[in-house]
């Protein structure tokens, strides 16, 4: 029996109530994905749309806790759409704070060179390169799985001539200075209980950073001073309540330090300037 999409979405939203904070939105996105159209198009044609085969299977995956980005295979970030999946950290809107800070510093002229440490699927690097078309950049990550997605995204965005990717541990082996350094290191205390769609699916090495959540900041504290070019800046994401501790660690860089909040007013980034 044919089922109209609007009814299937209503039923799916009810089923996802215990899994998601946004069950209706999730149901709409999954329906649009199953139909191969944009969610905006779905909403305009919802009255006439018919539920396609495969929609229920997508809903079942979400009910089991799979991240929406892993189910659809994509996540929008800043002005770009990234391919993501198992082994890659899902980009979060909070991380756009780093791009906003860089835009405030460099303006339209932009940086010439960009380094993204812990690039994952290329999130910060490719967003920055999209913002400044004349720039080139390097993305480093310790995970070959994550870099596989980054390579796919570099190609899909037509940035192969501007973006280099490298397997590595933070800035080890990086022997140049960059106008803009970006990093979203793991900052969650090991043992913290996370939502199921994060804890059971996303890579733990991209999430957890020791008993106090600061292990990777300690590494970066010994590296950032040597890789930020004169006149340049670094923007490093932090977790809630970490501003004072990370600022103290980064004093060793010899760079000028500021902090920046996200749109919700929470401390989200430490900014370091080579004046």
Q: Does residue 41 have a known ligand-binding role?
A: no
Q: Report, at the CATH architecture level, how domain 5-64 is classified.
A: Orthogonal Bundle (1.10)
pLDDT given for residue 29 in this prediction: 98
Ranges of residues in the chain whose predicted pLDDT is under 70 = 1
What are the boundaries of each domain within the chain?
A: 5-64, 78-273
Query: Do strands 136-141 and 256-261 pair parallel, antiparallel, or not at all (unpaired)?
Result: unpaired
- The answer to the question of whether 118 is labelled as a binding residue is yes
What is the Cα–Cα distance from 226 to 62, expressed in whole angstroms? 44
Q: What pLDDT does residue 7 have?
A: 95
Angle at 247 between CA 123 and CA 170, to 5 degrees: 40
Is 119 annotated to bind a ligand? Reply is yes
> What predicted TM-score, i.e. pTM, was given to this entire model?
0.94
> Is 120 annotated in some ligand binding site?
yes
Q: Is 137 annotated as a binding residue?
A: no
pLDDT of 1? 60
pLDDT at 3 (0 to 100) = 87
Give the contacts of 189 (CB within 8 A, at least 6 positions apart): 208, 209, 210, 211, 212, 213
The answer to whether 73 is annotated as binding is no
Report the b/e string of 101-134 with b at 16+ CB within 10 A: bbeebbeeebbbbbbbbbbbbbbbbbbbbbbbee
pLDDT at 255: 98
CATH numeric code, 78-273:
3.40.50.150
Q: Annotated binding residue at 107?
A: no
The answer to the question of whether 141 is labelled as a binding residue is yes
Is 78 annotated in a binding site? The answer is: no
Residue 132 annotated as binding site: no
Beta bridge partner(s), residue 273:
233, 256
């Amino acid at each position: 029996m044919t089922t109209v999409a609007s009814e299937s979405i209503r039923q799916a939203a009810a089923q996802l109530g215990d899994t998601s904070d946004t069950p209706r939105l999730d149901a709409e996105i999954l329906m649009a994905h199953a139909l191969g159209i944009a969610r905006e198009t779905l909403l305009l044609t919802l009255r006439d749309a018919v539920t396609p085969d495969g929609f229920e299977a997508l809903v079942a995956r979400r009910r089991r806790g799979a991240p929406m980005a892993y189910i659809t295979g994509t996540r929008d970030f800043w002005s770009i759409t990234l391919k993501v999946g198992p082994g890659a950290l899902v980009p979060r809107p909070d991380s756009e704070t780093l791009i906003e800070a860089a835009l405030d510093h460099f303006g339209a002229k932009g940086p010439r060179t960009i380094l993204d440490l812990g690039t994952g699927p290329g999130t910060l690097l490719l967003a920055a390169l999209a913002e400044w078309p004349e720039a080139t950049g390097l993305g480093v990550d310790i995970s070959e799985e994550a870099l596989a997605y980054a390579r796919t995204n570099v190609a899909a965005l037509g940035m192969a001539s501007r973006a280099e990717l490298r397997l590595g541990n933070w800035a080890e082996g990086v022997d140049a200075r960059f106008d803009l350094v970006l990093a979203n290191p793991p900052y969650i205390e090991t043992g913290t209980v996370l939502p199921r769609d994060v804890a059971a699916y996303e890579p733990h090495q991209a999430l957890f950073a020791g008993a106090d959540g600061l292990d990777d900041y300690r590494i970066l504290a010994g590296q950032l001073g040597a890789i930020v070019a004169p006149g340049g800046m670094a923007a490093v994401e932090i977790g809630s309540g970490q501003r004072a501790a990370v600022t103290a660690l980064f004093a060793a860089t010899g760079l000028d330090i500021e902090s920046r909040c996200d749109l919700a007013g929470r401390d989200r980034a430490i900014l370091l300037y080579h004046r």
